[in-house]
Amino acid sequence: MPRDPLTDLLDHIHHGVLYQGGDFTGVDLAGADLSGALLVETQLPEARLNGAKLVKARMIKAGARRADFSGAHVKDATFMACDLAEATFAGATLRDVSFLDCDLTGVTFAGATMTRCSLLKCKAGDIVLADVTLTFSALLECDVAGADLTRATLQSVTTVGADLRAARLENLACKSVVFANADFTGRDLTGLPLRQTNMAGAKMAGVRLAGADVTGSQFSKADLTDADLTGIKGATAVFAAANLTGTDFTHADLYGANFTAANLQQSNFEGSRLEMAVFTNADATGPGSRPRTSSTRSSKTSGSTPRTSASRASAAPTCIAPASKARWRPAPQAIRWAPRCLGRSPNSTSRVGSATTPHIPSTKAPDPMVYVNSQSAYMNMAMPDCCKTPMGPVIVPIPYPNIAMGAMATPNQEKILLTAMPAHNFSTKISMSNGDNAGVGGGLISGDEMGQSAPMMGSTKLFLAGAPAAMMGMPTMQNGSIPNAYGATISPAQVILCAMC
């Protein structure tokens, strides 16, 4: 007597035996224990799997279109090349789950809790992540056009190349999130919390971020052309090599921000706070542009030509290029400046680009004092450090913490000692890190695992052996000379010597 196909399926699952093929359209497996299932090319469209238990389950080339996984408990599971379009995981708990090359179009994860989950090369248009709690996870090379992230909470999440131009981002909460190469073109991101967010290489032309908190965030090589960043809180933010043409930083707090090699043509820094900001090799010149300074605010006081929309001026601070009291004339060639302060030189009559002694304004608060690093047990840490990790027959990108200990560093000088240990400066590197040991396939960006850690910034007030001192709290590059993650020095090497940032 032939066995019932469903009974045969459950028997294979119970014994951990591969089950291939079979059509179980609309089958009711609500609340079933499907742990250890290994299903290949099995069809489960419109199946009822709500409340089911899928621990260490594997589904390869399976079809589960419009299946109901709501409230399911999914752990250590892999979905590879599966058709899950319009399925629902609402309210489900997903932990250590990987979706590889799956069709997730219209899938809803509303209210789900997702921890250490990976979506790689998935079609995820119109995916619903409303009210989701997503932590230590990665969405890599996925099509998420039209995604709904309303009221979602993202913590230590990495996305690469996400198209978020039409995504719903209302009340989205972000912490330590990577939006590398994401597309936010023309979006109004006002009110979106972006503190310590990595937007390296992001497309953000015309974005509105007025008043946003981007403290410590990374915008390296991002395109922020004509973006509205008025009044942002951007202390220690990094805009290195970013395109900031026409960007408005009016009244922004940019204490300690890094604009190295950035394009600042026609950008506006009027009223902004720029103490300790770094503008090395920044380009604030261009055809038909001039520095917008305090002298251009009123033609009555300076005699300069009133600003009009037809002649938009560069907003480089006056200590970048002091403005002449005479009518401005275009510089004969592009000049690159390296400003170190906010304010204009008093009684300056020099022409554009000439060297003057900048006026240092009073600061809003005393310069912070921070512990200096030495060859001791301080710690650099970054999260997430996404590395390719073998899981059975597949390679899965998994986010790890990356930890580097100062005692393993290679100091570049031995003459300056702190508490009998060599002091560390900007050139010091820690050759090996830990935490991502299982990611033997290498980092998604660097290709390394257990790679080097190095400081991104140093003190501008204290130099050791000719290089800025490395200090606690400074940002670091982790797992590779081309960093796979960005972190910070989170513990002190010693508690005796402090220095100003």
- The residues, ordered by sequence, that sit 6+ positions from 175 with a Cβ below 8 Å of its Cβ are 154, 155, 156, 193, 195, 196
Question: What are the structural domains of the chain?
Answer: 193-295+312-321+333-365 (2.160.20), 369-500 (no CATH)
**Residue 347 confidence (pLDDT) above 50:** no
pLDDT band at 2 (very low <50, low <70, confident <90, very high): low
For residue 322, is pLDDT > 80? no
Q: Which residues contact 466 (CB under 8 A, 6 or more apart)?
A: none
Better pLDDT: 285 or 156: 156
Share of the chain above pLDDT 90, in %: 47
Residue 353's pLDDT is what?
41
pTM assigned to the model: 0.61
Which of 250, 251, 269 lies closest to 259, judged by CA?
Answer: 269
The DSSP code for 418 is E
Instruction: Please determine, for residue 323, whether its predicted confidence score (pLDDT) is greater than 60.
Output: no
Q: What is the mean pLDDT of the chain?
A: 82
* Per-residue pLDDT at 344: 43
Say what the pLDDT of residue 99 is. 94
Residue 148 has a pLDDT of 95
Q: Are 458 and 426 in contact (CB under 8 A)?
A: yes
Mean pLDDT, range 14-24, rounded to an integer:
89
Least confident range from 316-330, 348-362, 400-414: namely: 316-330
SS3 462: coil
d(CA 368, CA 403): 25
User: What tens digit of pLDDT does each residue of 359-403 get?
Assistant: 444 444 556 788 899 988 899 999 889 898 888 777 888 889 999
Mean pLDDT, range 101-109, rounded to an integer: 96
Per-residue pLDDT tens for 130-161?
Answer: 999 999 888 888 999 999 999 999 988 888 88
Torsion of CA 336, 339, 345, 349, to 10 degrees: 0
- pLDDT the model gives residue 286: 54
Out of 24-33, 275-284, 343-352, 448-457, least confident range: 343-352
pLDDT at 213 over 80: yes
Q: Could you tell me the two tokens for 40?
A: 């290949």
pLDDT tens digits for range 66-93: 999 999 999 999 999 999 999 999 999 9
How much is the pLDDT for 294?
A: 38
